[in-house]
Amino acid sequence: MDAEHEAVLVAARPILARMELLSYGTVTRFGGRRGADAPGPPAGDAHPLHEAWARRLREAADAAEARALLEAATDALEAIVRRRFVVEATETLEELCARIVADGRGFSAEDCAIAMRCTPTLVRRARLEAGRHPDTGGGLPQKVADAMAWARELSDAGLSLRQIEAIAGVPKSSLHRALA
């Protein structure tokens, strides 16, 4: 074995050490143990990955073949260790709000939030911005020229003073005096 081949074997040690740390054991049920009377060999792999690659690297004919085997061993390790990329479909906040308004009509804010995987506060805000009832997602009374008359209609629809303030733009103190 020449010096260049030895250098490849030295470079392979960290890769082989990482392979040796891989888990090969089996999983047993909770509370289950293999005792001395259990038949068969102990759990695990009889020919671990690191031993096979070490043998192949030692038996390489020359340094070029050893380098190629080292690259293959590195690729094999990375294929086992690296987590596969998950295909993710993301949506923007605007798309989520549009989906809340379109698909969440008729559901309570809590039920819609569970289905859309967001908070009930976001559901209510999205519905209010779209001119929908924050709790049911149904339609609100049409906007009229007089803000206080519209505020009375919104109050009759069951909205709170804060929600009416956000929709109609009338200060809460004025709403409290007018609707009391």
76 in any annotated domain = yes
Phi, psi dihedral angles at 132 (to 5 degrees): -110, 160
Nearest one of 59, 75, 56 to 18, comparing CA atoms: 75
Question: Rounded to the nearest 5 degrees, what angle is found at the Cα of 95, between the Cα atoms of 84 and 127?
Answer: 135
Q: State the pLDDT at residue 48.
A: 80
Question: Is 128 within a domain?
Answer: yes
Is there a single domain that holds both residue 82 and residue 4?
yes
**Is residue 130 domain-resident?**
yes
Q: Which residues span the domain enclosing 130?
A: 89-139
Is residue 106 within 8 Å of 138, Cβ to Cβ?
Answer: yes
Please indicate, yes or no, whether residues 62 and 14 belong to a single structural domain of this protein: yes
Q: Does residue 54 lie within any of the structural domains?
A: yes
Tens of each residue's pLDDT in the chain, 180 residues: 788 989 999 999 999 999 888 876 555 555 555 555 555 555 556 678 888 999 999 999 888 999 999 999 998 888 888 766 666 778 899 999 999 999 988 899 999 999 999 999 999 999 988 888 888 888 887 777 788 888 888 888 888 888 888 777 888 888 888 877
- 54 with 93, same domain: the answer is no
d(CA 108, CA 133): 10
Question: At 132, is the secondary structure helix, strand, or coil?
Answer: strand
Domain-embedded: residue 32: no
pLDDT at 144: 77
Task: Indicate whether 171 and 160 sit together in one domain.
Answer: yes
Residue 142 CB neighbour total at 10 angstroms: 8
Same domain, 146 and 124: no
Q: Report if residue 99 sits inside a domain.
A: yes
pLDDT of residue 36: 56
Question: Structure tokens of 43?
Answer: 């759990």
SS3 state at 174: helix
Closest CA to 18 of 95, 67, 81: 81
Question: Do 126 and 109 share a structural domain?
Answer: yes
Q: Which pair of structure tokens corresponds to residue 120?
A: 């009930």
Question: φ, ψ for residue 155 (rounded to 5)?
Answer: -65, -40
- Of 4, 8, 21, the closest CA to residue 70 belongs to 8
Domain count, the chain: 3
Specify the pLDDT at position 93: 94
User: In this structure, are 179 and 156 located in the same domain?
Assistant: yes
Same-domain pairing of 171 and 147:
yes
In a shared domain, residues 135 and 145: no
**Measured at the alpha carbon of residue 149, what is the angle toward residues 143 and 155, in degrees to the nearest 5?**
85
Predicted model pTM: 0.46
Say whether both 52 and 102 belong to one domain: no
